[in-house]
């Protein structure tokens, strides 16, 4: 069965010019829960001056339903983000670094080694405070500034995060540079290095139209946990041209067509996407929004 990690409330909204209200964010999460989603990246603990779309993280978490068996994750990029997260009831810290020195230096003023060292301490502190942690590694499949990223550097970051206490690793294609063959190679290398029991997830952007193809490649390589965003929304404020995550309802439609269970209701997901189009006041990118369910 596929485990969906829905990132729409965070990754989907963070790159939008329109500021969605706290109440609309709560309704979005509730609609996703009604569709069967059990793993939701709900907020981001980043500097509100940099990403104002996520400024109400604490208030959002206060109002989310706590009795529906849903796991809520929050993005953490720094110690200050950790301090904010620890004042909330967030379930999982999604601790993020990119694996490209050029990308990191441009956006965080530190090398990958420096970032991994600092964030490993953040992970340890979070775990001591009774939070769980998942490591998210960006630019795994390519960097918009330096091109190919060394897989050795990716493996190093993953190993350090696992040593620090992360129970999961997600490999992110930050600007949509991956291809299916590369995905299968990287996944197999991770399995060979860390064993088949590693809780491995994949996060793809559809920037160059390969999001679902890369998802299928990951599935065929043995991955069962995928990030996706309702209506295909998303992007990264720090990465040029990082537009559009893999669309949740399109991904579910693909897996259902393959007779692979997702424990979600496709019609409810599509209705949520239509509702979100009205909220955003523009056409969104999901294909089922345009074509409908067969």
Q: So which residues are the catalytic ones?
A: 236
Helices 248-257 and 211-220 sit at what angle, rounded to 10 degrees? Answer: 50
Q: Token pair 């050795």 is at which residue?
A: 152
Helix (H, G, I), strand (E, B) or coil at 8: helix
Residues 6+ apart with CB under 8 A from 79: 118, 121, 122, 125
- Per the document, the length of the chain is 294
β partners of residue 137: 97, 171
Residue 27: enclosing H or E segment and its boundaries?
helix 22-34
Sequence-ordered list of residues with C-beta below 8 angstroms from that of 205, at least 6 positions apart, any chain: 173, 174, 175, 176, 211, 234, 235, 242, 243, 244, 245, 246
Backbone angles phi, psi at 258, to 5 degrees: -90, 5
Coil, strand or helix at 36? coil
Nearest to 223, CA basis, from 73, 5, 36: 5
Measure Cα distances from 179 to 4, 90, 148 in Å: 21, 33, 12
Q: Cα separation of 168 and 205, whole Å?
A: 20
What angle separates helix 180-194 from helix 151-164, to the nearest 10 degrees? 40
């Amino acid at each position: 069965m596929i485990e969906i990690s829905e990132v729409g409330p965070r990754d989907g909204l963070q790159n939008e010019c329109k500021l969605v209200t706290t109440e609309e964010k709560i309704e979005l999460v509730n609609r996703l829960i009604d569709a069967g989603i059990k793993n939701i990246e709900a907020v981001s603990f980043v500097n509100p001056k940099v990403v104002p779309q996520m400024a109400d993280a604490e208030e959002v978490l206060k109002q989310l339903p706590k009795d529906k068996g849903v796991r809520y994750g929050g993005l953490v990029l720094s110690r200050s983000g950790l301090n904010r997260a620890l004042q909330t009831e967030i379930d999982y810290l999604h601790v993020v670094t990119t694996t490209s020195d050029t990308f990191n230096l441009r956006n965080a003023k530190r090398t990958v080694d420096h970032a991994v060292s600092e964030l490993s301490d953040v992970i340890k502190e979070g775990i001591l405070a009774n939070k769980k942690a998942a490591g998210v590694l960006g630019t795994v499949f390519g960097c918009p500034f330096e091109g190919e990223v060394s897989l050795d550097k990716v493996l190093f970051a993953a190993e350090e995060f696992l040593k620090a206490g992360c129970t999961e690793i997600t490999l992110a294609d930050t600007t949509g540079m991956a291809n299916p063959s590369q995905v299968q190679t990287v996944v197999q290398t991770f399995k060979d290095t860390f064993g088949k029991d590693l809780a491995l997830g994949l996060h793809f952007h559809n920037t160059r139209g390969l999001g679902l193809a890369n998802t299928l490649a990951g599935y065929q390589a043995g991955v069962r946990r995928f990030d996706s965003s309702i209506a295909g929304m998303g992007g990264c404020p720090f990465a040029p041209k990082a537009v559009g995550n893999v669309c949740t309802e399109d991904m579910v439609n693909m897996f259902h067509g393959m007779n692979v269970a997702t424990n979600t209701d496709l019609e409810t997901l599509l209705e949520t996407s239509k509702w979100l189009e009205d909220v955003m006041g523009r056409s969104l990118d999901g294909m089922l929004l345009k074509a409908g369910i067969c």
